[in-house]
Amino acid sequence: MIRAGLIAAVLALWSGAGNAGCLQDAAPCAIDSGTYHIERPAGIDPQIRLPAVMFLHGWGASGQATMSNRGMVDILLARGYAVIAPDGRLRDTGQGRTWDFHPARATTALRDEASFVAAVADDAAARHGIDRDLVILGGFSIGGSTASYIACKTPDAFAAFAPVAGSFWNPLPTRCAGPVRLLHVHGWTDTTVPLEGRRLSSGITQGDVFASMAVWRQTNGCTQPRPDGFDRTPDFQVRRWTSCAPGSALGFALHTGAHGIPKGWATLMLDWFAQLQP
């Protein structure tokens, strides 16, 4: 009986962690413009305000799917970060979720995503003990593109930005609102969002990631196009630009894999962010 009870308890904990809703509630947190999921590290006083990583899911996925990626989420929690996973809006077909990310379609967008994710962060700070000044906005694929456009539009809305496998689409922005702290990660063999971009049947074209990095260098006022530093880990090759506007930071990391959130991303990103803190 003890053995059976222990197994049941472990399964309950695993299930709850993999399907995190609004902290102890199974249902997601709700605000006027949408819903989000959140999880705080276990054993930390709820009165203690924590840094957080807000992560925007890919096309057709959901915030719950993000929270089910325990390989990523558990690393973030173990480092003392809360994890926030907003839900994209339901697609018109009712199947899956997506983001209204492309500025060229702003007039037909059903939701202002920059306002939505900022409202999510504000709500998490007000209700769930999140330090609003220490929220990193990341995202995967179309969620990474959404994070990139939010960084371009409202660079001061978050402490830093960390898009994965998603950047600007054509036409690329000619200018952004101001310098940012941003780490872009991409797969060398990605064919879904290739480094060179590609045209989709919908008529819009993914932008060239290298050209997008040039936009960020210009935005950050980097005085030279070449990187100021290089780092190599077993999983990533990283370029860093530091001769840029005060308070800004720019990094570009490549891994050998295809379209996905690579193993080690959470550690790489948090180590990069930690180096930015005074």
Average pLDDT score over the chain: 90
Write the single-letter amino acid at 84. I
What's the domain count of the chain? 1
Per-residue pLDDT tens for 136-146?
999 999 999 99
Residue 113 structure tokens: 């995503």
Asked if 28 and 22 touch (Cβ cutoff 8 Å), the reply is yes
Distances 178 to 71, 72, 152, 155 between C-alpha atoms, Å: 33, 30, 7, 6
**Whose CA is closest to 44, among 36, 52, 56, 35?**
52
Whose structure tokens read 């700070």?
125
> Can you give the residue range of the structural domain that contains 266?
2-276
Per-residue pLDDT tens for 69-78?
999 999 999 9
Residue 166 belongs to domain with CATH number: 3.40.50.1820
Per-residue pLDDT tens for 14-24?
333 444 689 88
Identify the pLDDT of residue 18.
Answer: 42
Give the integer Cα–Cα distance in Å for 179 and 160: 11
Residue 8 confidence (pLDDT) above 60: no
Whose structure tokens read 């196009």?
225
Identify the pLDDT of residue 136.
Answer: 98
H-type alpha helices, 19-128: 63-67, 70-78, 113-128
- What phi and psi, each to the nearest 5 degrees, are found at residue 136? -95, 130
Identify the pLDDT of residue 242.
Answer: 87
Which helix (H) or strand (E) segment holds residue 276: the answer is: helix 265-276
